[in-house]
Structure 1
């Protein structure tokens, strides 16, 4: 039989109840020091109640300097894991699979929240030194704290930070760990020649620029249980056609290397490394073709993102073999119960569990 949106998906020994995943979306809602709050429990828990197969946290910083804003989620201490544990318990109780996106913002760190302007924070305003493969700050931003080129100790420390964060995520009860290497954040900065002008083993050619991501993926895989999946999110293209940059073909070449390092699924997005990017088009399924290109080159599973808003659209991605997961972002902000409503629209209500408290609304 052809798989559809509500077919279970088994990755290693972890079975996801359907092919709908809540995309990692920053909430910028921590009060202090990256600790999860009631907001995170309600936000993530409602999407699990709403029928999604995988519910993933926002980008969760592996060390304090890895936050985009002071209000970002973190997992650099046992206290952070303890704050997240009730959330994973609730997600599991609702039958969904919990996932965490492990991240470091690199040179795009130390900013105010979007609704406060996304302005760079100076040290006097509570900002911090940002780290990057090269000592070049994110363009067109005045007044931010210094961007420092990472030395070898920083690089080694970062790999360790991701591994230890994964161990804490496991203690918190997560089923899936995702390495964030997209959207212009630190691991993507190492991939792209736009942001990486190093001349050591972590720069230069394709092998050098991909080395850190491969090492981080392997380090997370090493501490993650064999029966649970590791995902990696990548930006398929920098969308900078007028200069040497990271391209879709680079991403396709990277796919099998990530699988070799231990990635079970590649979550394919795009862009974010430079504000001059020129995205050729947006709209429904506008990034799906990049996931398909990656899938052509690797045995790893792929997730498709971008403009997925309708039940039939998400179902067609799976039925037509274009992706293994439909990763739904903004539509889950509009409708926490997207998966339950999709089941109604697709005539699949017998394949989802509507909470007894809500069944009057689904009859």
Structure 2
């Protein structure tokens, strides 16, 4: 019998009762336990509200099932993936640890001892382990938080009280351009490269820190030989997308353009969407892809049609211009598809220069 089998989803315990079973510290929200090979995550809705974030289940399942969002450590300022607690979540598989999630219930009557309900065992989502999200910290200043996407690996307790409240209205917030999870995976920090040695390397640490400071990571600085050993076809495409965005945004900023992104919330939904990038100077929304084949072009096409309905900036109430950014020129039929819906095309040539097809 494993220690975790001594408790079941839905059980309500104090930390004093949890620690002999799963380990971890008596304080803090992220508690690695080396001996028991666990990382215990405590979620407290009251504390979360004070620090400008919300943990809990997304009300919408995706094709792989339910997702529990858990905000990383750091009450003020940009959160960092190199911070020990966040790193413990990120590397839990490679460290042979299991994530256990608890949510605050209340207190034992007549005491200050908190009680916690056991939600179950989790693992970070392999395709999109986390998302960067802008919000206010404890100091009331805007910062980038790291929101981990956790998937249950067995039985779990799902209560309405632990579900994130849906957005009361649709909103589009212009935020600093932050590296996306796709870009981070591309920068050799995929599940295949979440190793101690890679996180200790200067270039990858720079990429991770850039993710939490609202900047594009220096993708070119990543250890290419390490990436090639770990890369699958999918991660190669993601890396190509990262390089494409990096090169084009650098070009725009060199021309004095203001570039950011939009954080979208849709009325009645709990999932937060994020655009690739937005050129505020030219009022243009971009969607990039790491391939120029039909599936990639259709993905860019559908996202641009979706996002441009909501994106507005600087008081303007008309739809932005939209551009598909690709690593090469697609087939004429695909160009015609984009043009028929007022979506422009910019592609990168073999010489690295960008051209506009129409």
TM-score normalised by length of structure 1: 0.27
When you count strand as a share of all residues, which structure comes out higher? 2
When you count helix as a share of all residues, which structure comes out higher? 1
